[in-house]
Structure 1
Amino acid sequence: MKKRYFIIAQITVLAVEAVLLLCFALWDADSAQDAVAVNEVLQSVESGWGRLESHERRTGLNYVVLDGTGEVLFRTDTGLSESVNRAVVHRDTILDIENAGLVVGKLIVFNDSAEILESGKRAMLLAVLAVMLAQWGICIAYGMYLDRAVIRPFRQLKDFARRVAGGNLDIPLEMDRGNLFGAFTESFDIMREELKKARLAEAKANAEKKELVAKLSHDIRTPVASIKAASEVGAALAQSGRIRENYGQIIRKADQIDALVNNLFTAALEELERLAVNPVDMESGELAAMLKSADYFGWAQIPPIPECLLHGDRLRLQQVFDNIFANAYKYGRNACQGEGGFQGQSAQGSPWGGKINVTMRREGQCLAVCIEDCGGGVDEEELPLLKEKFRRGSNAGNKEGAGLGLYISDYFLREMGGELLVENGEKGLRVTVVIRQSGI
C-alpha cells in the first residue's frame, strides 16, 4: 500500500516538474508596450509642455522627455535611456512630442520586458526548487520507511541466522505480521522450530543408537566368550601341533573381536576419529605374530625383523595389517591363483617366496613394513585418493568393500606418529606401514 502511495506521489511531483520546465522553456516576456498607457503619457507631456517642472507621472511606465537638442527635460527614474541611440539599442519606444504642429522633443518610454523576464525566471526557478525539495523529502521519507520495513528485518534475519548456525534454537524470531516481510520472517521462525525438532530427534536417535550398540556388544561378547572357551579346551586336548596352532589362531581372533567390540561404546563407524589410539613401547619382534595373524591364508613369508623398540598400539597395528592383507586377498586373488593355488596353499615356489611380498627396512628413526600384492596396482592418478574415506580404485569392480580400510589404517598410524604410504610396486599395490621407534 505504501509503495503505491510513494509511486503516485513521485509521478505527481515529476508531472509538476515537467510542466514547470516546459513553461520555463517556452515562456518569453512580451516586449510590446501598453499602447494606451504610452498614449496617455504622450498626451500628458504634450499638454504640459513648457511646464514639465510640474509634470506628474500618471502611469506605471518609466520614461524620459528630451527637447529638440537632446537635452533631458524630465525623467521618472535613473538608469533610463537618455539618448535616441541608447534607446534604439535598448529597444525602447521613441515618440515625437508635438506642440503647435511642430516636433519639439522626443519621448522615450523605457522597455522593461528584460526585467519582467528575469523576474519571471527567478520565480520559475524558485518553484522548480520547491518541487525538487518536495521530491527529495518524499524520497527521504520513503527511504526511512524502507529502512524500517525492509533493511532492519533483514538485519534481524542475519542475526537470527547466526544464532541458528551457532546452535541456539530456543530464541524465536520477533516479527511484525503487518510488515512487508512478515510472512517471510514467519517462515524463518518455522524453520527454526523444525530444526529444533530435528535436533531433538537426532539426539534421541543417537541415544537409542548408543543403547543399541551397548546391547549388541553385550550380545556379541557372549558367543565370542563361548568360542574362546571352546577353543581353549580344544587346544588343550589337541594331539597335533597343527591343530593346536589353529585353535590358537581362533583364540587370538576372539580376543581381537572382544577388544574391537569395546570400541563400539565410544564410536560408530562414521565417527572413526573418536576411536582411541593408545601407543606404548613394544618390541619389534611382536610384528611377526601380528603379520602371521593377519595373513591367515599363509600367502606371505615373514622376513627377519630388525630388532628395535617401537612406539605403537598393538590393537590398532593389528587392525592396520588386517586391513592391508584383506585388500591383498580381495584384489590379488585372481592373479595369485596362477601362482600355486589359493586358500590354504603358500606359494613357496614363486619368485617372491609367497603370493604377498613382505619386506622390512629401517628408515632413520622408523621401521618400514612394505606389503605388496600381485593384483596389478591402480592408476597413478588414483593413488593419492585411496586414503580418503569411502574412496576405492577403479579396479574395485563388483568386489565388496566400503573404501574405509586404508582410511582407518592411515588414521591409526598418524595417531601413533607413523605414516601410511601407498604406491604401485612391481606386481601390484605396495602399502608401506611406517612405525615410529620409541623415544623419538
Structure 2
Amino acid sequence: MKGAVAAVVVAAAAALAILFGSEPAKGFKSDVVPANELVEAVEKSWPDARAADARTGRRFPRVTVVGDDGSLVYSRGRRIDGDRDAMRTGAVGFELVAGGRHVGRMWIYNGWVEKEEEARRAALRLAGGTILAVASFCLLVVAVSRRRLLRPFKQLSFFAREVAQGNLDVPLRMDRNNVFGPFTEAFDIMRDELGRARRAEAAAKESKKQLVAELGHDIRTPVASIAATAELLEATEASESKREKIEVIRQKAGQIEELMADVARANREEIASLRVAPVPVGSEDVERWLRAADADEAMGDFSLPHCLVSVDRLRMRQVFDNVVANSRKYAGTPIEVKASVDEHFLLIVVRDRGPGVDRGEIEAILGKGVRGSNVKGVPGEGLGLYTSSCLMERMGGALSCRLADPGFAVVLEIPLAR
C-alpha cells in the first residue's frame, strides 16, 4: 500500500515538472489566410492601414505598421518595436509592397502565447486536481485499510501473544465487518477452548493431588499400627520361626512407611485439598474409631458421653490414627483418654507420659513440618499433628496441644451436631 502511494506521488511530481518545464513553441500559430488578407488590404489602402485593419474585422489583438523609413504608420494594441520585440513576443513580420515598391513592414500578433499560457494553466489546474483526487483516494484507501486490515491484525497479534503467555482473560473486540472478522471469532473460540482445557487440566491435577494426599495419610497410619502390632507379637512369641516371619512383617511395614514418607514430602503442599464432608455421628461411633486407632492396646479404660457430633467419618478416624500413632512413636507410654461435653463441643483429651516437647515449642508444634527438638533420629515428617489440626478446623472443631506434668496432651474439640 505504501509503495502504491509513493508511485502515485512520484508520477504526479513528474507530470508537474513536465508541465512547468515545457516552453511554448515559437512561431505564427494562426491561419495564414487571415494574415494574408490583412497584408493585402493594407497594401491596397496604403498608407491608410487603419481602414484596412477595420475592413478585415480586426482579427488579431496586436498589429503594428511602420514605413520604409521606420516611422510608425499604424498600431493597435501594444506596439511591436522591431523584429527583436516580435521574436520575443511571438509576432510575425510581413514586408509591405505598394505600387511596385517597398513601402514598409507590418508585424501581426494573434495572441497565441496568452492562449497557450491559459491552456497550460488549465492543464496545471486539471493535473493538480487529478493529483489531489488521486492523493485523497490513496489516503482514503490507506485509512480504510488501516481500519479494516492493520488495526484488526495488530489486535489479533496482541491477543495471540497474550494467549500464548497464558492470559486467557485478555479482551478481544468482535467486529465481523472487517476482513479478520471470521478469524477474530475463531480466535475467541480457541481462547474459550483453551480456558476449558486449562480448567479441566487443573481439575484433573487437583483430583490427583487429593487422591495422593488421601492415600498418603490414610496408608501411613495403618502401616504404623501394623508395625506396632508386629512388634508386640514379636515380643510375646516364643517360636523362633514365627518371630522371623514377624520380623519380615516389621521390615516390610518400615519400607512402606519410608515410601509413604516420600509421597508425603512430594505432596506436602496438598494437605488442604483433602475433601471434608461432616455428617451427624453418634458418640459411640467416635469411641469405636478412637479404640480402633489403638492397635497395641496402650489406652486405658475410658468412655465418651452420649451425644451427637458433626464430623467427616474418614477424616475423624484419620485424626485419631495420627494422634495415637504420634503418641506411641514419640512417647511409647500408656495413653490416658478423658472426655466431657460442653455447650458446643465434645472434648477429648489424649495424654501420654513421655518426654513431650520443650515449653518454648508448644505453640509451634502444630506447624507444617515442625517437630520437637528432642526427637532427632525418630523417623517422621512433622505432618501428623499439622494435618489433624487442619482437618479438625475444616470440620468446625479444633485441635490444641499442651504440656502435662509429666507428658504431652492433645485436646480435640469435636463440634456437636445442630
TM-score under structure 1 normalisation? 0.48
- Residue 230 of structure 2 contacts residue 247 of structure 2 at CA under 8 Å; is this kept in 1? no
Partner of 1:37: 34
Deviation (angstroms), 1:47: 4.0
Partner of 2:63: 63
- Residue 80 of structure 2 contacts residue 86 of structure 2 at CA under 8 Å; is this kept in 1? yes
Partner of 1:348: none
Give the distance between the partners of 2:18 and 2:66, measured in 1 at CA: 40
Give the distance between the partners of 2:263 and 2:86, measured in 1 at CA: 119
- Residue 60 of structure 2 contacts residue 108 of structure 2 at CA under 8 Å; is this kept in 1? no
Aligned residues with identical type, % of pairs: 30
Give the distance between the partners of 2:173 and 2:224, measured in 1 at CA: 56
Partner of 1:301: none
Partner of 1:121: 120
CA deviation string 1:199-253 (max 9, x = no partner):
221132123213322442255225522442145326645999xx99999988876
Partner of 1:144: 143
Partner of 1:197: 196
Deviation (angstroms), 1:66: 0.3
Give the distance between the partners of 1:39 and 1:101, measured in 2 at CA: 17
Give the distance between the partners of 1:27 and 1:82, measured in 2 at CA: 23
Give the distance between the partners of 1:53 and 1:112, measured in 2 at CA: 19
Give the distance between the partners of 2:155 and 2:124, measured in 1 at CA: 44
Give the distance between the partners of 2:234 and 2:195, measured in 1 at CA: 57
Give the distance between the partners of 1:88 and 1:153, measured in 2 at CA: 65
Give the distance between the partners of 1:122 and 1:88, measured in 2 at CA: 23
Q: Secondary structure of 1:140's match?
A: helix
Q: Secondary structure of 1:180's match?
A: coil
Q: Secondary structure of 2:106's match?
A: strand
Q: Secondary structure of 2:102's match?
A: strand
Deviation (angstroms), 1:141: 1.2
Deviation (angstroms), 1:125: 2.5
Question: Structure 2, unaligned stretches of length 5 or more?
Answer: 271-366, 383-418
CA deviation string 1:109-137 (max 9, x = no partner):
23755444444333323222222111111
- Residue 94 of structure 2 contacts residue 107 of structure 2 at CA under 8 Å; is this kept in 1? yes
Partner of 1:74: 74
- Residue 67 of structure 1 contacts residue 73 of structure 1 at CA under 8 Å; is this kept in 2? yes
Match of 1:46 among 21, 43, 47: 43
Number of equivalent positions: 271
Q: Secondary structure of 1:81's match?
A: coil
Q: Secondary structure of 1:31's match?
A: coil
- Residue 37 of structure 1 contacts residue 61 of structure 1 at CA under 8 Å; is this kept in 2? no
Query: Structure 2 counterpart of 1:94, which letter?
Result: G
Partner of 2:363: none
Partner of 2:94: 95
**Distance change in 2, residues 1:205/1:110 (3 Å):** same
1:134 has 2:133 as partner: yes
Deviation (angstroms), 1:256: 4.9
Query: Structure 2 counterpart of 1:31, which letter?
Result: G
- Residue 234 of structure 1 contacts residue 247 of structure 1 at CA under 8 Å; is this kept in 2? no
Deviation (angstroms), 1:146: 0.9
CA deviation string 1:138-170 (max 9, x = no partner):
111111211221123234335544764564449
Larger radius of gyration: 2
1:228 has 2:224 as partner: no
Deviation (angstroms), 1:262: 3.9
**Distance change in 2, residues 1:192/1:88 (3 Å):** closer
Give the distance between the partners of 2:218 and 2:381, measured in 1 at CA: 22
**Distance change in 2, residues 1:72/1:280 (3 Å):** farther
Query: Structure 2 counterpart of 1:110, which letter?
Result: Y
Q: Secondary structure of 2:187's match?
A: helix
Q: Secondary structure of 1:70's match?
A: coil
- Residue 63 of structure 1 contacts residue 76 of structure 1 at CA under 8 Å; is this kept in 2? yes
Question: Structure 1, unaligned stretches of length 5 or more?
Answer: 4-8, 269-275, 294-313, 317-440
Give the distance between the partners of 1:120 and 1:140, measured in 2 at CA: 30
Give the distance between the partners of 2:91 and 2:162, measured in 1 at CA: 82
Deviation (angstroms), 1:196: 1.9
**Distance change in 2, residues 1:48/1:18 (3 Å):** same
**Distance change in 2, residues 1:102/1:159 (3 Å):** same
- Residue 60 of structure 2 contacts residue 110 of structure 2 at CA under 8 Å; is this kept in 1? no
Query: Structure 2 counterpart of 1:42, which letter?
Result: V
**Distance change in 2, residues 1:277/1:158 (3 Å):** farther
- Residue 65 of structure 2 contacts residue 105 of structure 2 at CA under 8 Å; is this kept in 1? yes
- Residue 68 of structure 1 contacts residue 105 of structure 1 at CA under 8 Å; is this kept in 2? yes
Give the distance between the partners of 1:102 and 1:223, measured in 2 at CA: 150
Query: Structure 2 counterpart of 1:103, which letter?
Result: H
Task: Tell me which moved more, 215-224 or 166-175.
Answer: 166-175
Query: Structure 2 counterpart of 1:202, which letter?
Result: E
Partner of 1:408: none
Deviation (angstroms), 1:282: 5.5
- Cα RMSD between the aligned structures? 4.9
Give the distance between the partners of 1:85 and 1:30, measured in 2 at CA: 13
